[in-house]
Amino acid sequence: MIARILVGLGGTPFTPTAIRYAVELAQTHQAELLGITVIDRRRLGALTKTAGAAKDAVRELKRLEATEQQQAQSIADFESACAAAGLEYAVARESGDPFEKMISQARYYDLMIFGLRSLFDYKVVETAPTDVLTRLVSRGVRPILAVSQEYRPIHRALLAYSGSMESAKAIRRFMQMRLWRDVSVKVVTFEHTPDVAGELLADVAGYCRAHGHEAEVEHVAGPAQELLLQHAAEWNADLIVVGNSVKRLWLKKLLGETAMHVIKHANVPLFLSQ
Please provide the DSSP assignment of 56-71 as one string.
HHHHHHHHHHHHHHHH
**Residue 259 vs residue 253, higher pLDDT:** 259
209-252, pLDDT tens digit by residue? 999 999 999 999 888 777 889 999 999 999 999 875 434 444 44
Quick one: 41 and 135 in the same domain?
yes
Q: How confident is the model at residue 50 (pLDDT cuts 50, 70, 90)?
A: low
| Predicted local distance difference test score (pLDDT) of residue 242 | 83
3-state secondary structure 80-138: HHHHHHCCCEEEEEEECCHHHHHHHHHHHCCEEEECCCHHHHCCCCCCCHHHHHHHHHH
Start-to-end C-alpha separation, the chain: 17
pTM of the model: 0.85
Q: How confident is the model at residue 257 (pLDDT cuts 50, 70, 90)?
A: low
Quick one: 136 and 213 in the same domain?
no
73-82, pLDDT tens digit by residue? 999 999 999 9
| Predicted local distance difference test score (pLDDT) of residue 42 | 58
Judge whether 141 lies within some domain.
yes
Given a cut of 90, whether residue 155 has pLDDT beyond it is yes
| Predicted local distance difference test score (pLDDT) of residue 167 | 84
Q: Residue 76 is part of a domain; what is its CATH number?
A: 3.40.50.620
Domain extent, residue 265, equals: 156-273
Q: Please tell me the total count of domains within the chain.
A: 2
Judge whether 84 lies within some domain.
yes
Quick one: 47 and 174 in the same domain?
no
**Residue 84 vs residue 114, higher pLDDT:** 84
Judge whether 151 lies within some domain.
no
Quick one: 116 and 206 in the same domain?
no
Q: How confident is the model at residue 264 (pLDDT cuts 50, 70, 90)?
A: confident
DSSP string, 153-206: ---EEEEE--SSHHHHHHHHHHHHHTSSTT-EEEEEEESS-HHHHHHHHHHHHH
Quick one: 8 and 141 in the same domain?
yes
Quick one: 128 and 254 in the same domain?
no
Q: Are 198 and 227 in contact (CB under 8 A)?
A: no
* Last residue of one domain, picked from the residues 91, 118, 146: 146
Mean pLDDT of 111-133: 64
**Residue 56 vs residue 110, higher pLDDT:** 110
Percent of the chain whose predicted confidence (pLDDT) is above 90: 47
| Predicted local distance difference test score (pLDDT) of residue 118 | 66
Given a cut of 70, whether residue 274 has pLDDT beyond it is no
**Residue 60 vs residue 23, higher pLDDT:** 23
Quick one: 138 and 38 in the same domain?
yes
Quick one: 164 and 141 in the same domain?
no
Quick one: 64 and 170 in the same domain?
no
